[in-house]
Structure 1
């Protein structure tokens, strides 16, 4: 055995064509898998001009690599369609032309194998995870996925330690991929800094949230941010057609055709989310009984609608239904109907809505519709936001439910909302008068000489009932 714990040294003699006869193949490794790995190793050495005299070669390789292809095929046999159809190369990847076009920076970095650490920012289903895997494949790097919802600092340090060993023993680089990196706290994000700086790992983080607010500045400054956009309807249809025709990983063996209405609905209801579209397609194919003849299955528009109800609860995160349901939640709380409010909350969360989006709406509601009628409402709403940010779904669903019911039952007042609206309307109409001299700040001698702050009455010490705080032009207007 070699220096690494998974490293195997094998002596064998090859002819010029690749048909190795290994003198030692590790026990338990299928011969076809071993031969494939040894062939690839031999070809790499031969291409590099490193053959030994008489064709005898000593190869060292990671024993785990021998199983990787076989295990991947076994895993995909039981995986959902969206997972089976993940592109494995840039040529199979649809969309994101703005960052992956022929002359775009990210493509150049991949082709030239000069990868910095990166943050992929974009909506769900736009290819963030897939693109990270493709980059690992294209650059022949190890791919280590971690989820911010389930991984700890201990997991991060273990991944970094293993990455160091891979460099030392196998000269192999590691890409550590963090899904939902915005859910990592500062300590977890800081744990990556030394390894990113010294090149032990290349970090790729994926987030649906603005990284300016969710990724700490030290890590952000050492990474490039690439924005991924929602896939176009045509991108979605290309992905769907590929899945229908692919006989190895897709639905090609089942001979499926889509009606024009079905195609249109898949492209529209998925809202640029390839995962959602493929999930709906798979559900529709599994439950459909409509056939053109005994060998061809036709999916109708009605079946696609039913599939979306099963796979995605017909909830379009950027379409009308998204705004309809948040509106229903808002109006139910405003009307004091806690029963309806908790229903609309669950409709959103169970359909996959971002809990932070819901929490932000609750914070707004607490001041807009309740305000000073119950000042604790804002504290409750802020607590819900912190809970959603800290623990995420599914655990934070009861935190949000608690606050939704509290806000629905709280006394209501729109005094603050209307007062601010009146002020904003006045300001926008203009012109806006200057700040009165007696209210101005006077930090310098010149400002004092110009009478800034003169005649201001310090209210804790005197009766200031006659002091005016508004400009003369609007002093008689009542906003609140």
Structure 2
């Protein structure tokens, strides 16, 4: 027998749960269906959020033939069969799962049929289509983002499945506790497929009570049937980059609780390489010279996490995150090197001064290489006034101290002292 999630798949747009910004009254997909002006589209979002449901609902609402293929596993011959069907019986809606994995030969075969209108393509993907999908396909489709379902959306779908006698579990006499319903709708993190399958397992694996004949689903039964549903975190997907981005921005913004939340999501996905790489970047990019000791401690925490692995790795990682969140922040080192490289990329640089050039080869002195160089260690305090930058940019400043922490304040004091001794004016650049 087919799973409950498959049986409860919407047969028209009115049965679609959630996604009201796409299929609600007056919204784009409903307008397309009502006007009978369907065009090819790509639906992207996490698993279990309704991409296939929307496609089957569109087919049900329009009465077009509906076929479902997988871009990764189905052959070009399968595509040819769908095209042949469209030529014989009219327009076919083709639901193409994992469309980001469509090969070029399959794409080249499909494109003319999309343009003729024989095939209405509804591609589904968990990947960001603006990154993962070939521009040739992307330019011939409209792109719609499918959002995770809310807790109320999932509750609505679960209760509907319990009442539906034809496709759902309505033939069973089920008593579902409120806290069990809440758990099923919360623990699956917006994935309706997982919630429906967990409900079906709970109902069919729980014996009916002898005195009432009811199947009583309690919180503990719901917890056993859901087990653990990890948050969506494909290491190569859109969700991964969103979480990593939020992680760094939370530390940069000194929000300890938010940073720990995003750390927890990456720990839950066992994504140690992403966590450690990002922590090292953050330590030097966002904290930098305001607290270099925190950067050193982060390196130690990363080494410890890599040695012990999960689950214990979460402990040194948490220490590092809290340390970085509560440290003073400075991106002065990042801005300094970027400004220097910007000059280089623009061609705003000159020749290395002759007295700094390498004198260790025959004929160097004849060319004036190294002549006049002053060796700082021969002078008081191991410093002597001398020009190091090329003449073209001799008055350029790249490092502009922020003075956000004690260490960088000390660096700033020394920097300003040296620049004054050189006779170089410091001004905002």
What band does the TM-score fall into relative to the shorter chain? 0.5 to 0.7
Q: How do 1:224-263 and structure 2 match up within 5 A?
A: 224-263=142-181
- Secondary structure, counterpart of 1:131 in structure 2: helix
| Distance in 2 separating the partners of 1:133 and 1:122 | 17
Deviates more, 1:131-140 or 1:180-189: 180-189
| Distance in 2 separating the partners of 1:457 and 1:291 | 92
Structure 2 contact 152–185 (Cα < 8 Å) conserved? yes
Structure 2 contact 100–134 (Cα < 8 Å) conserved? no
Q: Say whether residues 1:317 and 2:231 are aligned partners.
A: yes
Tell me the equivalent position of 1:17: none
| Distance in 2 separating the partners of 1:174 and 1:367 | 46
Deviation at 1:229, TM superposition (A): 1.0
Structure 1 contact 441–453 (Cα < 8 Å) conserved? no
Structure 1 contact 438–455 (Cα < 8 Å) conserved? no
Structure 2 contact 336–398 (Cα < 8 Å) conserved? no
- Secondary structure, counterpart of 2:148 in structure 1: coil
Q: Say whether residues 1:108 and 2:31 are aligned partners.
A: yes
Q: How do 1:28-67 and structure 2 match up within 5 A?
A: none
TM-score (norm 1): 0.55
| Distance in 1 separating the partners of 2:162 and 2:354 | 77
Deviation at 1:369, TM superposition (A): 6.8
Structure 1 contact 438–453 (Cα < 8 Å) conserved? no
Deviates more, 1:125-134 or 1:286-295: 286-295
Deviation at 1:140, TM superposition (A): 2.1
| Distance in 1 separating the partners of 2:201 and 2:42 | 32
- Secondary structure, counterpart of 1:206 in structure 2: strand
Relative to structure 1, the CA distance from residue 369 to residue 166 in structure 2 (aligned partners, 3 Å threshold; closer, same or farther) is same
Match of 1:146 among 66, 69, 72: 69
Deviation at 1:271, TM superposition (A): 1.4
Structure 1 contact 292–298 (Cα < 8 Å) conserved? no
Relative to structure 1, the CA distance from residue 462 to residue 282 in structure 2 (aligned partners, 3 Å threshold; closer, same or farther) is same
- Secondary structure, counterpart of 2:331 in structure 1: helix
Write the deviation string for residues 230-264 of structure 1: whole angstroms up to 9, x where unpaired. Answer: 11111111111111111112111111011111111
- Secondary structure, counterpart of 2:118 in structure 1: coil
Structure 2 contact 4–196 (Cα < 8 Å) conserved? yes
Match of 2:95 among 173, 177, 194: 177
Tell me the equivalent position of 2:116: 198
Match of 2:12 among 75, 81, 89: 89
Match of 1:129 among 42, 45, 52: 52
Deviation at 1:467, TM superposition (A): 4.2
| Distance in 2 separating the partners of 1:442 and 1:228 | 43
Q: Say whether residues 1:453 and 2:330 are aligned partners.
A: no
Match of 1:362 among 273, 280, 300: 273
Relative to structure 1, the CA distance from residue 471 to residue 104 in structure 2 (aligned partners, 3 Å threshold; closer, same or farther) is same
Tell me the equivalent position of 1:268: 186
| Distance in 1 separating the partners of 2:148 and 2:159 | 18
Match of 2:224 among 281, 300, 306: 306
Tell me the equivalent position of 1:165: 84
Relative to structure 1, the CA distance from residue 455 to residue 110 in structure 2 (aligned partners, 3 Å threshold; closer, same or farther) is same
Deviation at 1:141, TM superposition (A): 1.7
- Secondary structure, counterpart of 1:178 in structure 2: strand
Tell me the equivalent position of 1:279: 197
| Distance in 1 separating the partners of 2:341 and 2:205 | 76
Deviation at 1:307, TM superposition (A): 0.7
- Secondary structure, counterpart of 2:156 in structure 1: helix
Deviation at 1:148, TM superposition (A): 2.6
Tell me the equivalent position of 2:381: none
Tell me the equivalent position of 1:46: none
| Distance in 2 separating the partners of 1:120 and 1:437 | 41
Q: Say whether residues 1:117 and 2:117 are aligned partners.
A: no
Tell me the equivalent position of 1:471: 398
Deviation at 1:295, TM superposition (A): 2.4
Write the deviation string for residues 37-94 of structure 1: whole angstroms up to 9, x where unpaired. Answer: xxxxxxxxxxxxxxxxxxxxxxxxxxxxxxxxxxxxxxxxx11111111121112221
| Distance in 2 separating the partners of 1:300 and 1:165 | 51
The RMSD of aligned alpha carbons is 4.6
Aligned length: 313
| Distance in 2 separating the partners of 1:437 and 1:274 | 50
| Distance in 2 separating the partners of 1:190 and 1:202 | 16
| Distance in 2 separating the partners of 1:175 and 1:459 | 74
Deviation at 1:365, TM superposition (A): 3.8
Write the deviation string for residues 146-188 of structure 1: whole angstroms up to 9, x where unpaired. Answer: 1133123x23xx42x4344334433x11112111212334444
Write the deviation string for residues 9-49 of structure 1: whole angstroms up to 9, x where unpaired. Answer: xxxxxxxxxxxxxxxxxxxxxxxxxxxxxxxxxxxxxxxxx
- Secondary structure, counterpart of 1:271 in structure 2: coil
| Distance in 2 separating the partners of 1:243 and 1:473 | 63
TM-score (norm 2): 0.61
